[in-house]
Amino acid sequence: MTFGMLASQENASKVDPDASVDKWKIFRALCEAKSMIGVSDRALAVLNALLTFYPKNEIAEANGFVVFPSNEQLSLRTHGMAGTTLRRNLAMLVEAGLIIRRDSPNGKRFARRNGEGGLGEAFGFSLAPLLVRAREIEAQAAQVLADKLEWKRLRERLSLCRRDITKLIEIALEEEIAGEWIEMQQHFNRLSASLPRRPSTAELQNLLTDLEAFRELIVKTLESKTKAKKTDANDSRNGWHIHNSNPHPISELEPSFEPKQGAKPEEEPRPRREPPKSFPLAMVLQACPEIVAYGPGGGIGSWRDLMAAAVVVRSTLGVSPSAYQQACDVMGPENAATVIACILERGGHINSAGGYLRDLTRRAERGEFSLGPMLMALMRANGPPMARKTG
């Protein structure tokens, strides 16, 4: 007999006569909170068997608290658990304060009938602690569930952040943007490798904080490199239309259309390129927040949502289905939806959205159009880079 067992018996004697609890509801809560309570799966299997001997679904003083199955009966209901294992797990349940032994003088488990034919005094295991500790157990189960949800949320945010960093570095390398991208990739790999196989919530939070700061550094680096490019070179290559009165010039959003008459055809057609990789969705929404209102339910949480919103915006802007389909074929559906979002963002500076999209599609097909500078310019116009806290 330990002090904890004595305390459990003392608490069990203070049962509210009117209190009751569903035995299977409290058992499910115990299964959720087993790590906090300190019981094993085997011990819970034995408790499950004990509950099957309780005659009612509601544990209450009016129904009695004691169950008195033999070890043989318990072994049958625990799928043949060995006697030594059964006794060890019964002892664990007693030590955890979930059941109390009610021993008879001869150590047997039984119940005496009263004069009215009902059960009188019973010897076996009392389930009263489950009723007394019901609120405590349910609170522990709720805490465990909340911790699991937080762990899952952090894991999802970490996966999205790692995906963003990978795409940003890949784009920087593919676009041949000057910078120490190989070193950044190696640093990113070291950070990712530092995460244990089964990380704790604190370890996930620490790594997420480091990676979000690293992602912000990459975005700022890309912005600074984009600003350093000569604007006249961008004008001639990508058809940037600059308004001097605009404090945040959006350089990629008004192309200089090639004249239809007198234009010299290219001597040799260039081979069609593969669609470029898309930018992170969070970056696109940071640069083009206006399209969010056109998403399903007034929000955008995935590329599928963005592409659905782009179809609505395309019709609103007067872009023909054929022009948009051609853009999807050449740029890829994600990048085509991103271009539509950019057009919507600066619609007042574009005379013909459909003609602009067709012009960009032709340039993309020849490898003369880059989506990166367009997004960077819009991000500068709409505020700071991607927030460190997402989701």
Instruction: Judge whether 298 lies within some domain.
Output: yes
Contact partners, residue 73, CB within 8 Å, separation at least 6: 53
Instruction: Judge whether 50 lies within some domain.
Output: yes
Instruction: Judge whether 253 lies within some domain.
Output: no
DSSP structure string for 67-117 = E---HHHHHHHTTS--HHHHHHHHHHHHHTTS-EEE--TTS--EEEE-TTS
Instruction: For 364-380, give one letter per residue: b (16+ CB within 10 A) or e.
Output: bbeeebbbbbbbbbbbb
Instruction: Judge whether 243 lies within some domain.
Output: no
C-alpha–C-alpha distance, residues 153 and 156, integer Å:
5
From 95, 114, 140, give the residue that closes a domain.
140
Instruction: Judge whether 110 lies within some domain.
Output: yes
Write down the pLDDT at residue 387: 40
Domain range for 152 is: 145-223
Pair 93, 20 in one domain: yes
C-alpha–C-alpha distance, residues 335 and 328, integer Å:
7
Do residues 149 and 201 make contact, with C-beta atoms less than 8 angstroms apart?
no
Residue pLDDT tens, the chain, 391 long = 454 555 555 555 567 778 899 999 999 999 999 989 999 999 999 999 999 998 889 998 888 888 888 888 888 989 899 989 999 999 999 999 999 988 765 566 655 565 555 555 667 888 999 999 999 999 999 999 999 999 999 999 999 999 988 888 888 887 777 778 888 888 888 888 888 888 999 999 999 999 999 888 888 888 787 666 544 444 444 444 433 334 444 444 444 434 444 444 444 444 555 666 778 888 888 889 999 989 888 889 889 899 989 988 888 888 888 889 999 989 888 999 999 999 998 877 787 888 889 999 998 888 888 888 888 888 877 755 444 333 3
C-alpha–C-alpha distance, residues 326 and 361, integer Å:
7
C-alpha–C-alpha distance, residues 195 and 151, integer Å:
14
From 140, 169, 189, give the residue that closes a domain.
140
Length of the chain in residues, anyone?
A: 391
Instruction: Judge whether 63 lies within some domain.
Output: yes
Write down the pLDDT at residue 316: 84
Distances (CA, A) of 110 to 75, 102, 122, 383: 17, 10, 6, 76
Pair 131, 12 in one domain: yes
Write down the pLDDT at residue 267: 45
Write down the pLDDT at residue 239: 46
Residue spans of beta strands (DSSP E) within the chain: 20-22, 58-60, 66-67, 100-102, 110-113, 119-126
> SS3 for 316?
helix
Do residues 207 and 195 make contact, with C-beta atoms less than 8 angstroms apart?
yes
At 277, the amino acid letter reads: K
Sign of CA dihedral 200, 201, 203, 207: positive
Number of H helices, E strands in the chain: 17, 6
Pair 16, 128 in one domain: yes
Closest by CA to 357, choosing from 330, 387, 389, is 330
Pair 122, 15 in one domain: yes
Pair 319, 363 in one domain: yes
From 154, 189, 223, give the residue that closes a domain.
223
- If one counts the domains in the chain, the total is 3
Pair 295, 178 in one domain: no
Instruction: Judge whether 238 lies within some domain.
Output: no
Instruction: Judge whether 270 lies within some domain.
Output: no
Q: Helix 321-331 vs helix 333-345: angle between axes, to the nearest 10 degrees? A: 120
Write down the pLDDT at residue 352: 85
